[in-house]
Amino acid sequence: MKYFIIAGERSGDLHGSNLVKAIKKSDNQAIIKAWGGDYMQEAGAEITKHYRDLAFMGFLEVLKNLPTILGFIGECKKTIEGFQPDAIILIDYAGFNIRIAKWAKKKGFKVFYYISPKVWAWNQSRAWSLKKNLDRLFVIFPFEVEFFKKYDFDVEFVGNPLFDAIDNFEPSTDFLQRNNLSDKKNIALLPGSRKQEVEKMLKLMVDIQMKFSDYQFVIAGVSNLPVEFYQPFLNENIKLVTDQTYDLLSQSTAALVTSGTATLETALFEIPQVVCYKTSGLSYKIAKLVIKVPYISLVNLVAQKEVVKELIQDELTMENLTIELNKILNDTNLRNKQMNDYKQVKESLGDIGASEKTGRRIVEILRSSN
């Protein structure tokens, strides 16, 4: 059978790669095309558009780039119609993928969604659109099952795919030497993968390094941004590693993390963290009006309480960041509490096998409907 997968950012590409492997395991003659990235390509999908072209964040940024985004949507529709897949599989990337789902359903394609858009966070009425336009929704957080019940929408909880990614990870024995890192303790800087957010985050993250001279700050860079982009932030005690986030986390004492999937990854590696988030003033004002959840980090949302400190917008200052980093480095009680909370978060998320289960279910559903 033929499968078309859409992932619009790095984390979706990572989970999409495990999904590609799972589909091929259940359907060894699967033909898979995708809008995705290097991970999915390595797993065996033919990438017809790279996600680096699709990475826009924030309400204002999306509005400014709307003509470009609408052009991509039109291009994606043409690619799908030319390919005529048996299934379209959407991974997160809400604004784009919800539009594709609506169009695809009208065209008679089978539409699956793996990793639900965060409709529980804002614009909750989009849950009705998902119910109407999807053949099946596979969710990765337990609280999502309860949320969708309010819309009489029976979704499948498959566990969290981060367990798959971390289970597949093998630490590099020569990570420090290969990246010319010193033997100082590391503080990991995870500023995100999109140029706009990385610029905003790194300016603040690196400025506090002078107050923590006993530590080496290491930026988790991504290959979809050129090395030259990171160069202005580097010095003798601020280093860069590229596409080695898990190795970095496994060798770090603490982390400063831009809100997103990385907050949950950091928790699963049991690294104390401070969550940082800043966007344009207008985007933040709009977000304040529409967002319906009390936290922005996945760790706190899954725990349904404050496990990690969130410094958002005006609270994200050099002074506050210094105070909070000091706490997670030096307050033993706070570190222990965070570790205990991490353990509870981990237990609530299920076990490994989310991607394999989802891939198997998609193949089963397609075969039973033929």
Task: Using the predicted structure, report yes or no on whether residue 39 has a pLDDT greater than 80.
Answer: yes
| Cα distance between residue 343 and residue 186, in whole Å | 23
pLDDT of residue 80: 97
Based on its alpha-carbon atoms, the radius of gyration of the chain, rounded to whole angstroms, reads: 20
Q: What's the number of domains the chain is made of?
A: 2
pLDDT of residue 266: 96
* 192 and 156 together in one domain: no
74 in any annotated domain? yes
* 40 and 111 together in one domain: yes
* 109 and 232 together in one domain: no
* 29 and 149 together in one domain: yes
* 222 and 360 together in one domain: no
pLDDT of residue 56: 54
* Angle, helices 354-369/10-26, rounded to nearest 10 degrees: 50
pLDDT of residue 107: 97
- Check which CATH number belongs to the domain holding 326 and give it: 3.40.50.2000
| Residue with the larger pLDDT of the pair 151 and 194 | 151
170 in any annotated domain? no
| Cα distance between residue 151 and residue 223, in whole Å | 40
CA 279 to chain centre: 17
* 301 and 337 together in one domain: yes
| Cα distance between residue 342 and residue 328, in whole Å | 14
Name the phi and psi angles at 22, rounded to 5: -65, -40
Single-letter amino acid, residue 10: R
| Residue with the larger pLDDT of the pair 325 and 237 | 325
Task: Using the predicted structure, report yes or no on whether residue 288 has a pLDDT greater than 90.
Answer: no
364 in any annotated domain? yes
* 191 and 244 together in one domain: yes
* 257 and 188 together in one domain: yes
| Cα distance between residue 101 and residue 166, in whole Å | 30
| Cα distance between residue 110 and residue 117, in whole Å | 18
59 in any annotated domain? yes
Burial 102-115 (b: 16+ CB within 10 A, else e): bbbbeeebbbbbbb
| Cα distance between residue 147 and residue 124, in whole Å | 10
CA 4 to chain centre: 20
250 in any annotated domain? yes
166 in any annotated domain? no
**Residue numbers of the domain that contains 209:** 175-348
Interval 47-76: pLDDT, tens: 999 987 765 555 555 566 666 777 788 999
* 228 and 318 together in one domain: yes
290 Cβ neighbours under 8 A, 6+ residues apart: 122, 123
* 235 and 359 together in one domain: no
49 in any annotated domain? yes
96 in any annotated domain? yes
Asked if 183 contacts 169 with a C-beta cutoff of 8 angstroms, the reply is: no
Q: Give the confidence band of 287 by pLDDT, cuts at 50, 70, 90.
A: low
pLDDT of residue 290: 57
> Can you read off the two tokens belonging to residue 147?
């949320």
User: How many other C-beta atoms lie within 10 A of the C-beta of residue 178?
Assistant: 12
139: left (phi over 0), alpha (psi -120 to 50) or beta: beta
The residue length of the chain stands at 370
Burial 217-228 (b: 16+ CB within 10 A, else e): bbbbbbebbeee
In this prediction, what percent of the chain has a pLDDT beyond 70?
91
pLDDT of residue 344: 94
Average pLDDT over residues 233-249: 94
pLDDT of residue 72: 84
| Cα distance between residue 191 and residue 169, in whole Å | 21
pTM attached to this predicted model: 0.80
| Residue with the larger pLDDT of the pair 172 and 279 | 172
Interval 143-192: pLDDT, tens: 899 999 999 999 999 999 999 889 889 999 999 999 999 999 999 999 98
pLDDT of residue 60: 53
Q: Does residue 74 sit in helix, strand or coil?
A: helix
* 310 and 237 together in one domain: yes
Q: For residue 235, what are the CA distances in angstroms to 217, 231, 241?
A: 10, 9, 13
Rounded to the nearest 5 degrees, what angle is found at the Cα of 242, between the Cα atoms of 236 and 243?
A: 150
Query: Where does residue 334 rank: exposed (0-12), middle (13-18), buried (19+ CB within 10 A)?
Result: middle
Asked if 297 contacts 306 with a C-beta cutoff of 8 angstroms, the reply is: no
| Cα distance between residue 91 and residue 159, in whole Å | 15
* 246 and 323 together in one domain: yes
